[in-house]
Amino acid sequence: MVLVTGGSRGLGLVLARQLVKRGAHVGLLARDSLELARARRSISHVRSVLLLQADVADPAQVNHAVGVMIRHFGQLDVVVNNAGVIVSAPFDDTSASDFQALLDVHLFGTLNVTRAALPYLVRRDEARIINICSIGGKIGVPHLSAYCASKFAQAGLSMVMAEELREKGICVTTVYPGLMRTGSHVNAWFKGRHEQEFAAFALAGGLPGTSMGAERAARQILAASERGVAEAVIPFTVRQISRAAALAPGTTVAAMALANRALPPASSRSAKQGSELPLPPAVRTAVRLSERAADRNNER
């Protein structure tokens, strides 16, 4: 029995599909009931799927959702903390409320779900927690200041969880994926020069050379958890980047500074979602795999 947060779209939905194919019963937890309903229709063996409407940032809602899952399935073996929010903006256009909102989901959401699930996980043999962080939890990425700050915090929490919960028989795997073609550009939020930010983000996350398919990422994530590893940086190329950053942090900072110069300057603190913004035809063609993923993974 597996609980997947952020399970109504993107990577969470892809993970849920693979889990159901492996014979798991899955609780899909997300905020939007309509998205959850659409997600379930896209999964084979819908009787294996329970929809749980809750905001991971709200402990009371999380506790209620976990209780519903226990009453329905009778047990809980695995938790996948996958819920996430992306704000792409220059640092000057990123507000304190942006930092708080992302911390609420990535840090406190992981904390709330884990605390609610823990009493049931300790009853199971070989229980698992999978915390989906990001390579942005190891390397600071320009125009993702709030996202990276919250992912660094989530990664720190996850590392301590791995150390302490092992004594309770729970294996915690912290996952640091690179860019994935999940279709997330559609639901990400953008500030500054909105259309330029959106195009740059879509290109970085949608080109085959800079990103990996969500289905491949999901397979690697589940395999890492099955092996019981404490940390998984995927794919191989991102793992090498992470190692290089640890060995030569000054070089990494310089490289990120160069990348920053190619991005649009600060302009506006108003926020727009990707679904509200147009992609130039050339960019749309270049990221067609991400555009298809957005349709396939309930991102629209």
Strand 189-190 vs strand 272-273: parallel, antiparallel, or unpaired? Answer: antiparallel
| Listed range (1-15, 89-103, 249-263) with the worst mean pLDDT | 249-263
Distance CA 23, CA 290 (A): 28
Distance CA 234, CA 231 (A): 10
Model pLDDT, residue 236: 77
11: domain CATH number?
Answer: 3.40.50.720
Return the active site residues.
147
Tens-digit pLDDT profile for residues 39-53? 999 998 878 999 999
| Residue that is written with structure tokens 């823990």 in the block | 118
**Region 13-24 average pLDDT:** 97
**Region 206-221 average pLDDT:** 93
Average confidence score pLDDT of the chain: 95
Tens-digit pLDDT profile for residues 221-267? 999 999 999 999 998 788 888 888 888 889 888 888 988 999 999 99
Tens-digit pLDDT profile for residues 181-199? 999 999 999 999 999 999 9
Orientation angle between helical segments 249-261 and 236-247, nearest 10 degrees? 110
Tally of domains within the chain = 1
> CA torsion, points 93, 96, 99, 100, in degrees to nearest 10?
-150
**Region 127-142 average pLDDT:** 97
Tens-digit pLDDT profile for residues 77-91? 999 999 999 999 999
Task: Indicate if the alpha-carbon torsion angle 197, 9, 115, 63 is positive or negative.
Answer: positive
Model pLDDT, residue 210: 85
With cut-offs at 50, 70 and 90, classify the pLDDT of residue 209. Answer: confident
Model pLDDT, residue 246: 87
Report the chain's terminal Cα–Cα distance, integer Å: 28
Distance CA 290, CA 67 (A): 36
With cut-offs at 50, 70 and 90, classify the pLDDT of residue 146. Answer: very high
Q: Structural domain of residue 8, as residue ranges?
A: 2-296
Establish how many alpha carbons lie within 13 A of residue 105's alpha carbon, considering only the half-sphere containing its beta carbon: 25
Distance CA 134, CA 212 (A): 13
pTM beyond cutoff 0.85:
yes
Distance CA 67, CA 83 (A): 19
Alpha carbon 250 to its chain's center: 27
